[in-house]
Amino acid sequence: MRAEIRVTGIVQGVGFRPFVYRTAVKHNLLGYVRNRGDAGVEIVVEGEKDKIEKFIEDLKVKKPPLAKIHDLIVNFSEEKGEFKEFKILRSSESRELSGSVIPPDIAICDECLKELRDPRDKRYDYFFITCTDCGPRFTVIEQLPYDRPNTTMRDFPMCSFCQREYEDPANRRFHAQTVACPTCGPKAYLTDSKGEEIEVKDPIREAGRLLAEGYIVAIKGYGGFHVATATTLSEPIRRLRRVKHRRQKPFAIMARNLETVKTFAVVGPKEAELLTSYVRPIVLLRKSEDYYLSDLIAPGLHNVGVMLPYSAMHYMLFDEVDEPAFVMTSANPPNQPIVKDNTEALKRLGKIVDYFLFHNRRIAHRCDDSVARVHKNEHICLIRRSRGYAPAPVHLKFFSKKCVLGLGGELNVVSCILNGDKAFLSQHIGDVENIETLNFLEEATRHLIRLTNSKIEAVACDLHPKFNTTKLAYKLAEELDCPVMRVQHHHAHVAALMAEHNLDEIVGIACDGYGYGPKGEAWGGEILYCNRESYKRIGHLEEQPMPGGDLATYYPLRMAAGILHKITDISEWLLSKSNFLPHGKTEAELILKQLEKGVKLETSSCGRVLDAISAILGVCYERTYEGEPAMKLESAAIGGKDVLELKPEIRGNIVKTTELVNAVFEALGKFRVTDLAFSAQEYIAKSLAKLAVEKAEELGVKNVGFSGGVAYNEQITATIQRIVEENGLNFVFHKFVPAGDGGTSFGQAVVAGFVTN
């Protein structure tokens, strides 16, 4: 018999062809296997029928660990007798099926790590050691199919040693496209801040020593540059904050190993699993009692973002120093994508760092580290889904009849292609507020369309008319000759939840800082009923004034003043706090005057209420990064108890917040800040949950979910979950996409997919 087999999924760049080769030879079959331009694999075998069937069974069951088979299509026919052996053929360019994709970057495997440390091994101490099971993938591939000439490894012709391994079916590097060694592969080198090379025998370990001594070093990795420094010294971190104009925003760190992480942070089993997985995300961990790293790493926060080394270079940095961890922050100038090219790095980072640790391998696509957090020791919340995940799809339990592209909103943008029963999310793009990030979004989106061989039939974007993503949506839709669908921000959040759990309807609580309402309102504390056709706003937080508009977002004292002014005289208090406003007393007086006249701009944002409480409690007076006052409030509430025990104040469909803010204000000095912060968060969670449960019961809906950036708050989420479950309803939370704005492009695509079906 002859069988022609097509395999789709993640089957390129994961050792799938070598595996097919070995399996075919084992079953005495003749024929060939080859990669295709649509990221799938094509196999033709001839032999006895039962052997072919066993072969197919083995393909499904014994596939390499990183391979994912979505579909295996088999056509049997008469044997033609055209083969003398089984071969891996040159790849075909043909593109026919869609939905296959290349793998994400994969952390160094145990075998490679062992060889790195073995003095007898050819790749002993070699920083770019990889094999079919590990190494960069997404970031090295310029085009499909995944063959060396289509990757940035084409700049490094293999030496005879590597070539032999590459051609040896018994070798772990058989057809490994990133195979390289010290003779033929990429080289690392150290330079000063001007790019002048410094002659050292061991540039990587020298860079490690420089870091430990307190220098700032830019390090080129898989998906871009990191800016690194020590974690036990405060001086270099202070200097880094000054030159990066990053006053408070936490820096991620890379720790030597898991044991070391446990010396300064609390690591649960789920967190340990995530830290050591091949994704190696940054995991937000609670600082332990005896946290001894610099307080400047994550100032005012109870947790710290930690990752473990994921390349040989990272491991080597730690070899000759005692430093437990290094600061490893993405090298991106404010509002710009992560730096990936050497010349760009010199230009943009030269004034920030003391040294560069370069290598001469080009990065095809930039990709930031992923960020995750674990709630209640069990639930993984993705905050940023990027390196290690992208471009592997999220698998859905339904089938979208239309192929839809979603472009997200303004902050934490990723794009998303909904194709059949899969959603392909791009790497993290960032805040699309200027031309550089917009270009990055467009380029990454086009690349994702090509990679997945998708025929886009609709483009989805936000309701906001001025977002760059909205403009890009119209541009792409015109080019692709398809309609644009505008989706309300919180509708997208809740639809994402629905799709992840394959629900037909849901009552969703969506809380964050800001989303454009259908009439241009500032939404952000919403309860929506949502089904596959539409949504309805069935509840929300009380609308509160924003004195000074956007300024109230940056200076939460303004929010506090606006809310308190409704029921109490705050002149004296606000004047006493005027040193926390950039223009002092004059500004405080102006705010009071505005409040007397009445403030038109209002918001139902949950984030803004949390901000106001944060300012009243003296936890945070200025937002220097997105979510800062609310994040610091969560940290301040750790270990607190509900001393205020406020009863939910619900008027009609509105959760009141004025009385809450006033109660906190009145209780100042009578209770610990920790307990007041805890009480305030408890009130918001309880009231939202109560109203959502009432609405769900009225409507006969079984599922209540929680989405939006506020859902990263562990206390608020846990309380909502408890109340929903106590009332016999099912609580749902995001599993595969971020609860924050990194999940909205997926939600938009889902809404467009539902509606246009």
Only segment of 83-91, 184-192, 342-350, 640-648 that touches Zn ion (CB under 5 A): 184-192
- Position 349 contacts Zn ion (CB under 5 A): no
How far apart, in whole angstroms, are the C-alpha atoms of residue 342 and residue 361? 10
- Position 112 contacts Zn ion (CB under 5 A): yes
Least separation, in Å, of the C-beta of 162 and Zn ion? 3
Q: Which is nearer to Zn ion, 65 or 618 (CB)?
A: 65
| Tokens, residue 317 | 């940095």
Length of the chain: 757
- Position 360 contacts Zn ion (CB under 5 A): no
- Position 586 contacts Zn ion (CB under 5 A): no
Least separation, in Å, of the C-beta of 124 and Zn ion? 13
**Percent of the chain as helix, strand, coil, to the nearest 5:** 35, 25, 40
Q: Which is nearer to Zn ion, 112 or 619 (CB)?
A: 112
For residue 391, whether the previous peptide bond is cis, meaning omega lies within 30 degrees of 0, is yes
- Position 551 contacts Zn ion (CB under 5 A): no
Q: Which is nearer to Zn ion, 126 or 678 (CB)?
A: 126
Q: Which is nearer to Zn ion, 111 or 569 (CB)?
A: 111
Cβ-proximal residues to 154 (8 Å cutoff; 6+ apart), any chain: 148
| Tokens, residue 11 | 């089957």
What's the Cα-to-Cα distance from 392 to each of 6, 279, 367, rounded to whole Å?
A: 19, 11, 13
Least separation, in Å, of the C-beta of 165 and Zn ion? 8
What is residue 383's three-state secondary structure?
strand
- Considering only residues 121 to 180 of the shown chain, the ones binding Zn ion according to CB under 5 A are 131, 133-134, 159, 162
Least separation, in Å, of the C-beta of 412 and Zn ion? 32
First CA to last CA distance, the chain: 41
Least separation, in Å, of the C-beta of 485 and Zn ion? 43
Q: What is the dihedral of CA 668, 673, 679, 681, to 10 degrees?
A: 120
How far apart, in whole angstroms, are the C-alpha atoms of residue 415 and residue 288? 36
Least separation, in Å, of the C-beta of 134 and Zn ion? 3
Q: Which is nearer to Zn ion, 122 or 486 (CB)?
A: 122
Q: Which is nearer to Zn ion, 184 or 755 (CB)?
A: 184
- Considering only residues 642 to 661 of the shown chain, the ones binding Zn ion according to CB under 5 A are none
List 109, 381, 503, 664, residue binding Zn ion (CB under 5 A): 109
Q: Which is nearer to Zn ion, 183 or 434 (CB)?
A: 183
| In contact, 438 and 453? CB cutoff 8 Å | no
Least separation, in Å, of the C-beta of 552 and Zn ion? 52
Least separation, in Å, of the C-beta of 125 and Zn ion? 14
| In contact, 456 and 405? CB cutoff 8 Å | yes
| In contact, 51 and 1? CB cutoff 8 Å | no
What is residue 488's three-state secondary structure?
coil
List 1, 184, 266, 601, residue binding Zn ion (CB under 5 A): 184
- Position 495 contacts Zn ion (CB under 5 A): no
Give the burial string for 309-328 (b: 16+ CB within 10 Å, else e): bbbbbbbbbbeebebbbbbb
How far apart, in whole angstroms, are the C-alpha atoms of residue 191 and residue 343? 13
Q: Which is nearer to Zn ion, 182 or 268 (CB)?
A: 182
| In contact, 166 and 114? CB cutoff 8 Å | no
- Position 312 contacts Zn ion (CB under 5 A): no
Only segment of 107-115, 397-405, 491-499, 604-612 that touches Zn ion (CB under 5 A): 107-115
- Position 113 contacts Zn ion (CB under 5 A): no
Q: Which is nearer to Zn ion, 134 or 472 (CB)?
A: 134
Question: Which residues pair with residue 254 across a beta bridge?
Answer: 307, 326
Sites of contact with Zn ion (CB under 5 A): 109, 112, 131, 133-134, 159, 162, 181, 183-184
